[in-house]
Amino acid sequence: MDARDKQLLRSLRLELCTEVLVDGVVIQYLYQEGILTDSHVQEIKSQTTSQRRTMMLLDILPTRGPKAFDVFLDSLQEFPWVKEKLMVKRKEMTVQAPADITEIAPCILKTSPTDQQLNKLARRLGPEWEHIVLCLGLSHSDIYRCKVNHPHNLQSQVVAAFVLWRQRLGKKATIQSLQAGLMAEEVDPSVIQYMLE
């Protein structure tokens, strides 16, 4: 799924959770089209409320390849108003493509991110933060430790993980390697710009 569509799903997350019931046709259609696997369907259905089921689906979708967003749109037959809204927003986002992304100076790329910068970054990341820190060299047990130490605050978990990465890698924990990790996970380039502002 491309960065624009991920951003769109994230920006409308709460709205989608209240308006879309994924229990019926949506999940079955995504399964039929090969976007969801058996285990995804089980994971979604195991959630206790319909809002949580929708949230779980929204967490899984961005990891399911380039066709995931379009197939998700097709699955919204019972929710034409939601489909319409997503398509309109998507067009708007295409118009304001990030042409204003500026090059980051090499001297900045070689520095380590500050606590303040990591905090700003954490505010902009969703569930993909785990893949990013794995990409940067942290382990699953490191992630687990960050979650246990900050059980009720996602932003604190993310900051803790990036601080751990910076401590562990020392001078090698540069903004350049962080940018590479973000790009590998297809995070929108504006996120790193926002972090450096």
Domain-wise residue ranges, the chain = 3-96, 108-196
Candidate CATH numbers 3.40.50.300, 3.40.190.10, 1.10.533.10, 2.40.30.40; the one for domain 3-96: 1.10.533.10
Answer whether 124's CB lies under 8 Å from 157's CB. Answer: no
CA dist 188 and 7 (Å) reads: 7
Query: pLDDT value at position 33?
Result: 92
Mean pLDDT of 19-34: 88
pLDDT digits (tens, 9 = 90+) for 150-197: 988 888 999 999 999 999 988 888 888 888 888 877 777 778 888 888
Question: In the chain, pLDDT over 90 holds for what percent of residues?
Answer: 24
Q: pLDDT-derived band of residue 57, with 50, 70 and 90 as boundaries?
A: very high
Q: Assess whether the region 3-96 and the region 108-196 belong to the same CATH fold.
A: yes
Query: pLDDT value at position 102?
Result: 56
Answer whether 134's CB lies under 8 Å from 140's CB. Answer: yes
Query: pLDDT value at position 100?
Result: 46
Query: pLDDT value at position 99?
Result: 46
Mean pLDDT of 41-47: 90
Mean pLDDT of 6-20: 85
User: What mean pLDDT is reported for the chain?
Assistant: 85
1-5, 6-10, 81-85, 148-152: segment of lowest average pLDDT: 1-5
Query: pLDDT value at position 94?
Result: 59
CATH fold of 108-196 reads Death Domain, Fas (1.10.533)
Looking at the predicted structure, is the pLDDT value of residue 144 above 60?
yes
Q: pLDDT-derived band of residue 27, with 50, 70 and 90 as boundaries?
A: very high
pLDDT digits (tens, 9 = 90+) for 88-124: 888 877 544 444 445 777 888 888 899 998 998 888 8
Buried b (16+ CB within 10 A) or exposed e, 123-156: ebbbebbbbbbbbbebeeebbebbeeebeeeeeb
